Amino acid sequence: MTRDPDDLTELKERPRTEAEDLEDLALEEDYALNPEFVMQVDDALDRGDTDRLRELLAALRPEDIADLMGFLSADDREELLPHLDPEVLAEVLPELDTEIREDILEHLPSATLARALGEMDSDDAADVVDDLEAEQRAEVLAAMPEVDRAAIETTLAYDEESAGRLMQREVVAAPQFWTVGQTIDHLRRESDELPELFFDVYVVDPSYKPVGACPVSHLLRTKRDVPLAQIMEQVTEIPVDMDQEEVAYIFDKYNLISAPVVEPGGRLVGQITVDDIVGVIAEETEEDILALAGVSDAGRDAGVWGIVRSRLPWLMINTLTAAFAVSVIGYFQDEIVKLAILAVLMPIVASLGGNAGTQTLAVAVRALASRELSAANAVRTISREMTVGVLNGAALALVTGGVLYLLFRDVRLALAFGLALVINLFVAALAGALIPLALDRVGRDPAVSSSVFVTFVTDFTGFFAFLGLAALILL
271, 358, 424, 461: which one contacts a copy of itself (CB under 8 A)?
Answer: 358
Q: Which is nearer to a copy of itself, 136 or 195 (CB)?
A: 195
User: Which ranges in 265-372 belong to alpha helices (H)?
Assistant: 274-292, 304-330, 333-338, 341-369
Pairing relation of β-strands 258-262 and 238-239?
parallel
Contact range with a copy of itself by CB under 8 A, out of 157-165, 328-336, 410-418, 438-446: 328-336
Query: What is the C-alpha to C-alpha distance for residues 366 and 246, in angstroms, rounded to an integer?
Result: 14
Per CB under 8 A, 473 contacts a copy of itself: no
Distance between CA 110 and CA 128 in Å, rounded?
A: 13
Between 101 and 149, CB nearer to a copy of itself = 101
Among 104, 365, 434, 457, binds a copy of itself (CB under 8 A): 365
Is residue 51 within the footprint of a copy of itself (CB under 8 A)? no
Does position 405 interact with a copy of itself (CB under 8 A)? The reply is: no
- Can residue 187 be called a binding residue for a copy of itself (CB under 8 A)? yes
Site string for a copy of itself, 123-162 (x = CB under 8 A): ----------------------------------------
Q: How far apart (Å, rounded) are the C-alpha atoms in residues 468 and 462?
A: 10
- Minimum Å gap between C-beta 24 and a copy of itself is 14
Tell me: does residue 290 bind a copy of itself (CB under 8 A).
yes
Amino acid at position 8, single letter: L
Give which of 291, 249, 316 is closest to 445, Cα–Cα.
291
17 vs 234, which CB is nearer to a copy of itself? 234
Residue 297 binds a copy of itself (CB under 8 A): no
Question: How far apart, in whole angstroms, are the C-alpha atoms of residue 419 and residue 226?
Answer: 74
Distance of closest approach, residue 244 Cβ to a copy of itself, in angstroms: 12
x/- site string to a copy of itself, residues 224 to 263, per CB under 8 A?
------------x-----x---x--xxxxxxxxx------
Q: Distance between CA atoms of 24 and 37, rounded to whole angstroms?
A: 10
By CB under 8 A, name the one of 22, 307, 398, 471 that touches a copy of itself: 307
CA 351 distance to own-chain centroid = 30
3-class DSSP state of 271: strand
Q: Is 356 in the site for a copy of itself (CB under 8 A)?
A: yes
The 258-262 sheet, strands edge to edge? 238-239, 258-262, 268-273
Backbone angles phi, psi at 203, to 5 degrees: -95, 125
* 184 sits near a copy of itself (criterion: CB under 8 A): yes
Nearest residue to 76 (alpha-carbon basis) of 52, 48, 51:
48
Number of residues interacting with a copy of itself: please give it, by CB under 8 A: 121
CB of 134 to a copy of itself, least distance (A): 30
The DSSP code for 168 is: B
Of 12-20, 78-86, 336-344, 412-420, which part binds a copy of itself (CB under 8 A)?
336-344
Out of 9, 177, 374, 411, point to the residue binding a copy of itself (CB under 8 A): 374
User: Of 333, 411, 444, 475, which lies in the binding site for a copy of itself, with binding defined by CB under 8 A?
Assistant: 333
Stretch that binds a copy of itself, among 11-19, 31-39, 111-119, 162-170 (CB under 8 A): 31-39
Q: What is the largest CA-CA distance in the chain?
A: 108
Q: How far apart are CA 158 and CA 135, in angstroms?
A: 21
91 to 120, contacts with a copy of itself by CB under 8 A? 97
12 near a copy of itself, judged by CB under 8 A: no
CB 131 within 8 A of CB 137: no
Q: Within 30-85, where are the H helices?
A: 35-47, 50-58, 62-71, 74-80
Q: Which stretch binds a copy of itself (CB under 8 A): 26-34, 106-114, 143-151, 408-416?
A: 26-34
Region label for 443, one of left (φ > 0), alpha (ψ between -120 and 50) or beta (otherwise): left
DSSP line for 117-156: HHTS-HHHHHHHHHTS-HHHHHHHHHTS-HHHHHHHHHHH
CA 363 – CA 386 distance, rounded (Å) = 14
* Interaction residues for a copy of itself, span 264-283 (CB under 8 A): 274-275, 277-279, 281-282
**Nearer CB in complex with a copy of itself: 141/294:** 294
Of 306, 255, 310, nearest to 277 (Cα)?
Answer: 255
User: Smallest distance from the beta carbon of 281 to a copy of itself, in angstroms?
Assistant: 5
Amino acid found at 49: D
CB of 341 to a copy of itself, least distance (A): 7
Which of 19, 387, 411, 444 binds a copy of itself (CB under 8 A)? It is 387
